[in-house]
Amino acid sequence: MISLTIDGAAVEVAEGASLLDACRAAAREQPTLCHAANLTPANACRICVVELEGSRALVPACSREAEEGMVVSTDSERVRHSRRMVLEFLASSTDLSLSGVDVWLEDYGADPGRYGPPARASERDRRHPGHHPPPDGLLAATVAQEVKVDNDLYVRDYSRCILCYKCVDACGVDAQNTFAITVAGRGFDATISTEYAVPLTASACVYCGNCIGVCPTGALMFRSEHELRAAGIWDEDDQSVTRTVCSYCGVGCNLELHVQGNRIVKVTSPMDDDITSGHLCIKGRFGYDYVQELGDLATTPIDEVLAGVRADGGSPAR
Ligand code: SF4
Ligand code: SF4
């Protein structure tokens, strides 16, 4: 075990634990957007930085390994100042309305509005790194852009993207190993992109939706959720979440069916499922339409159900 001090309290964690783990063990939860238990820490959002005695720079709690005798402060003025600046930069340039950061903005006294009103949406995909007009100093630069709706399953709203790398890592070595997306461009022009910014339908994407599952800001979203939100009828208070086992193959992945108005509106997988660690394939994630198109199995004769499926060109065993 490793012994260290967090905000004056002694804490013990297992060897290999991060400072974030140690903070949690000491009941000192830290804010973070880019950390997820099922991904390798990316150190991208810099919100979880803490002050480490003897270290010149603040250190990211999510990726810094705990060491014997460390003395850590999570709420010093230096930490609070850094977090306030990071939150202001993120919230002034990105739509964080679905990320739940409001409470942190308040806690750290962040005022994103002090950079001026947000600039309008732009064609960010067509920008060339290093070739953009200088800021006019009147508007806050933003990543605002049109929502990408190019397939039936999910949308990409990069106006909400904080470049946390979670989707890239979930699509890559941490889960899917498809490598359909990565970061393109440099500096403020950097974006998450498919190869040559082609639509998803022309990319290597296999629609596992694992990128959606880890996105902390709602930049990646089920099309069903996007459309219900646009219609003003997305209502999480009116949704139930039922844990079940995927019916497609014998692996036994756990699913969480989010149901609103007796319709499945979204499917996730629990992080504590040993099989999935929160990740799924296209069938488990998006293959639920057959449940809703078959009608009520309790009252519809099975012959009618099967006739309906066959007429639809499908198979009950698909
Ligand atoms: S849906 Fe899956 S394959 Fe497609 S971009 Fe997301 S993680 Fe990659
Ligand atoms: S799309 Fe979401 S998961 Fe991907 S980098 Fe942006 S905020 Fe992170």
Q: Are 173 and 109 contained in the same domain?
A: no
Spacing, Cα 168 to ligand 2 middle (Å) = 8
Residue 65 is classified by DSSP as B
Q: Are 104 and 241 contained in the same domain?
A: no
Q: Which domain holds residue 18?
A: 2-75
* 230 within 8 A of 174, measured Cβ to Cβ: no
Residue 143 falls within a domain, yes or no? no
Q: What residue's CA is closest to ligand 2, atom 8?
A: 164
Residue 38 falls within a domain, yes or no? yes
Cβ neighbours of residue 14 closer than 8 Å, sequence gap 6 or more:
1, 2
d(CA 21, CA 159): 31
What pLDDT does 267 receive?
A: 97
What pLDDT does 121 receive?
A: 75
Q: Are 232 and 295 contained in the same domain?
A: yes
How confident is the model over 287-313, as a mean pLDDT?
A: 66
d(CA 101, CA 31): 9
Q: What residue's CA is closest to ligand 2, atom 5?
A: 163
d(CA 216, CA 161): 9
What pLDDT does 289 receive?
A: 82
pLDDT digits (tens, 9 = 90+) for 97-125: 999 999 999 999 999 999 988 887 777 77
Reply yes or no on whether the pLDDT at 294 is more than 80: no
Ligand 2 closest atom vs CA 166: 3
- Provide φ and ψ at 13, rounded to 5°: -135, 160
pLDDT digits (tens, 9 = 90+) for 1-49: 999 999 999 999 999 999 999 999 999 999 999 999 999 999 999 999 9
Q: Are 65 and 84 contained in the same domain?
A: no
What pLDDT does 3 receive?
A: 96
* 244 within 8 A of 255, measured Cβ to Cβ: yes
d(CA 145, CA 121): 4
Q: Are 209 and 245 contained in the same domain?
A: yes
Q: Are 114 and 214 contained in the same domain?
A: no
